[in-house]
Amino acid sequence: METVLFAILGIAAILAALLTITSPSPIASALYLVGVMFSLAGLYVLLAAPFVAAIQVIVYAGAVIVLMLFVIMLLNLRPVEEKSAAGWQTAGIAVASLVLLTAFVAIMSASSQLAVVNDVPTTFGKTVEIGKLLYSRYLYAFEVVAVLLLLAIVGAVALIRKPDSADGDGEAHAD
Amino acid sequence: MQIELTHYLLLTAVLFAIGVMGVLTRKNLIVLLMSVEIMLNAVNLTFVAVARYTADLTGQVLVFFVMCVAAAEVAVGLAVLIALWRHRGTMHMDSFRLLKW
């Protein structure tokens, strides 16, 4: 059962990822990316990580992709002509294959040395357990991430302000 | 056949390579951001798989942090894209070559 689910979800993830990077329309790319996110969420459930699966769906499929779709539709993006040189495409595929080959060799040579635990406790990956870790050992990192998100909000708002409103501060408060 | 850690690691390697290919071959900046997301997700899957097969929850906590950073990255990245769009009216990567030597 687990094997069948892994095969289905894995193949779905790979196919959706390939369609994401090959489809000419950005909207279609974003929708295929949702497929990648959902397949990965399913794999997280298989890997005893229900909390991670939930935030994968909520944060990625729910927030990140919707943000991208908003931007694509707001800017009314049409497919840009991708007439890059064929040599550049080949180089890209070659580099990606090289990355893949390196990873394969590394994984295959290390796979015999991995200390593998086949059974995990039933509470493994539950929200309570992750919450305990977040608020004890990783408390500082948690707080720093909160500051990072605040900075990202402020930075994003500052970046997309209209350039001519920079010196027109008084105009905004005129009436 | 029993699914093992190696199978998950191979799957993440394939996903990561697809992301690399997207970054290197596409010219649309939004699709470029999506390829980066695919790479981040491949790494997240590695974290979760290793966490499961070493029975150590630290991997899942790290995924939480990676997701926060990815969300911040997307927000700032899309803001940069909108600013670029206002200046140049295009999303084609070859239009932005001011820093290219």
Domain ranges of chain A: 1-78, 126-162
Residues B13 and A109: beta-carbon distance below 8 Å? no
CA distance B18 to A27: 19
Beta-carbon separation of A14 and B15 below 8 A = yes
Q: Which CATH number fits the domain A1-78, given the four candidates 2.130.10.10, 1.10.443.10, 2.50.20.10, 1.20.120.1200?
A: 1.20.120.1200
Domains and CATH numbers, chain B: 5-95 (1.10.287.3510)
Residues B56 and B29: beta-carbon distance below 8 Å? no
CA distance A79 to B57: 42
**Predicted ipTM of the assembly:** 0.91
Return the percentage of chain B with pLDDT > 90, whole number.
58
Return the percentage of chain A with pLDDT > 90, whole number.
57
User: Does position A100 have pLDDT exceeding 50, yes or no?
Assistant: yes
Helix (H, G, I), strand (E, B) or coil at B50: helix
pLDDT band at B48 (very low <50, low <70, confident <90, very high): very high
Residue contacts between A and B (CB atoms, under 8 Å): 235
**Average pLDDT across chain B, whole number:** 89
**Average pLDDT across chain A, whole number:** 86
**Which of B60, B67, B84 is most worth mutating to test chain A (most A CB atoms within 10 A of its CB)?**
B60
Q: What is the mean pLDDT of residues A120-130?
A: 86
Beta-carbon separation of B37 and A64 below 8 A = yes
